[in-house]
Amino acid sequence: MMQVVCQWCGHRYTMKRENVLQAVAEAQAAKAIHHVENCPKCRRAIKIQLADLKRWIPPGTKLPDVAKPEAKEE
Ligand SMILES: [Zn+2]
């Protein structure tokens, strides 16, 4: 579980591990550097750095599969 503090209203809440994994998988698929959460209290968007999310994931954890926004061969 990861502690998130809303930068707008100061509300603290925890993200479940599966939500953190999903957020990392989605951000990586989108090549984003942060994940956007909506505060459960004020509903405003909170940006969380991908690097911060990754710190909560043990090495070797398999990320869930997400639909990629575009299939691109590199
Ligand atoms: Zn808030």
Rounded distance from Cα 34 to ligand 1 centre (Å): 17
Rounded distance from Cα 45 to ligand 1 centre (Å): 8
Ramachandran assignment for 10, one of left (phi > 0), alpha (psi -120 to 50 degrees), beta (any other)? left
Place 69 in a pLDDT band, splitting at 50, 70 and 90: low
Mean pLDDT value across residues 24-50: 96
With contact defined as beta carbons under 8 Å apart, do 68 and 31 qualify?
Answer: no
Place 37 in a pLDDT band, splitting at 50, 70 and 90: very high
Place 66 in a pLDDT band, splitting at 50, 70 and 90: confident
Rounded distance from Cα 57 to ligand 1 centre (Å): 24
In this prediction the pTM is 0.80
